[in-house]
């Protein structure tokens, strides 16, 4: 398996294969969760072959490469990983709300 060069976790792309410590592909990266305040990896959400999403906590991520992510757990343990928790909703400003809408608190749209 050619993993490529080691890279920073923030450069890992969606769809990158994820391998267990025993070399089995357990899924593909769906999302990298970053703790922006502390500038550390919080975890990775992977999509398994069956289509389910699983959360891999940061201590279980061994290394991130250009073409692969390796874990510190076995394929059997990876199959038992929990689903990711739904976090607080993301909000972004609503561009066309107008001054009155923003004044009345309607200037934000939930994603």
Q: CA-CA distance, 92 to 31, in Å (whole number)?
A: 20
pLDDT of residue 57: 95
pLDDT tens digits along 11-66: 999 999 999 999 999 999 999 988 878 888 999 999 998 889 999 999 999 999 99
Examine residue 68 and state whether it is found in any structural domain, yes or no.
yes
Give the number of other CB atoms < 10 A from CB of residue 43.
20
pLDDT of residue 95: 53
Examine residue 102 and state whether it is found in any structural domain, yes or no.
yes
Examine residue 1 and state whether it is found in any structural domain, yes or no.
no
The number of domains in the chain is 1
Which are the contacts of 61, defined by CB distance < 8 A and separation ≥ 6?
9, 41, 43, 44, 69, 70, 71, 72
- pTM, rounded to two decimals: 0.75
Examine residue 64 and state whether it is found in any structural domain, yes or no.
yes
List the CATH number of the domain containing 104.
Answer: 3.90.50.10
Examine residue 2 and state whether it is found in any structural domain, yes or no.
no
């Amino acid at each position: 398996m050619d993993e490529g060069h080691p890279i920073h976790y923030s450069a890992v792309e969606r769809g990158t294969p994820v391998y267990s410590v025993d070399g089995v592909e357990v899924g593909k990266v769906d999302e990298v969760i970053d703790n922006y305040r502390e500038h550390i990896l919080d975890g990775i959400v992977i999509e398994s072959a069956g289509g389910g999403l699983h959360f891999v906590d940061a201590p279980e991520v061994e290394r991130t490469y250009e073409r692969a992510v390796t874990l510190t757990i076995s394929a059997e343990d990876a199959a038992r990983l929990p689903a990711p928790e739904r976090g607080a909703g993301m909000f972004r400003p609503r561009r066309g709300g107008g001054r009155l809408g923003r004044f009345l608190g309607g200037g934000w749209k939930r994603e």
